[in-house]
């Protein structure tokens, strides 16, 4: 599972980019490409429902370590208008944070 420090560091980077946290999606470490990943499914459902605008991740492998699945998920997110923000230098974790730009900062 994602460490509290890793989640905090990514949240801090989101705030520095003027994003508001909408949701956190964390799948347990034991999930692999052959198993159901409930938080990934929830994130994709929320993307479909336009509940967030930006997916903040420390690295692409936090979406999937399988290149085919990674491309599929990124394509699906792009279909729904979701941008992916890489939060560089964040410690490794199994988290994905959904954010919306703060309206004041983007005006």
Q: Can you give the pTM of this predicted structure? A: 0.71
Q: What DSSP line would sit under 14-57, residue for residue?
A: HHHTTEEEEEEEE--TT--TTS--HHHHHHHHHHHTT--SEEEE
pLDDT band at 72 (very low <50, low <70, confident <90, very high): very high
Measured CA to CA in angstroms, residue 41 lies from 75, 77, 101 at distances of 14, 12, 23
Express each pLDDT in 5-61 by its tens digit: 767 777 788 888 888 888 888 877 655 556 678 899 999 999 999 999 999 887 888
């Amino acid at each position: 599972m994602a460490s509290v420090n890793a989640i905090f560091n990514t949240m801090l980077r989101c705030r520095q980019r003027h994003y508001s946290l909408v949701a956190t999606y964390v799948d347990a470490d034991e999930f692999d490409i052959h198993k159901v990943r409930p938080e990934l499914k929830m994130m994709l459902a929320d993307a479909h429902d336009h509940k967030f605008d930006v997916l903040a991740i420390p690295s692409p492998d936090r979406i999937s370590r399988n290149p085919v699945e990674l491309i599929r998920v990124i394509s699906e997110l792009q279909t729904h208008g979701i941008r992916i923000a890489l939060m560089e230098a964040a410690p490794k974790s199994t988290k994905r944070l959904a954010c919306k730009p703060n309206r004041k900062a983007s005006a």
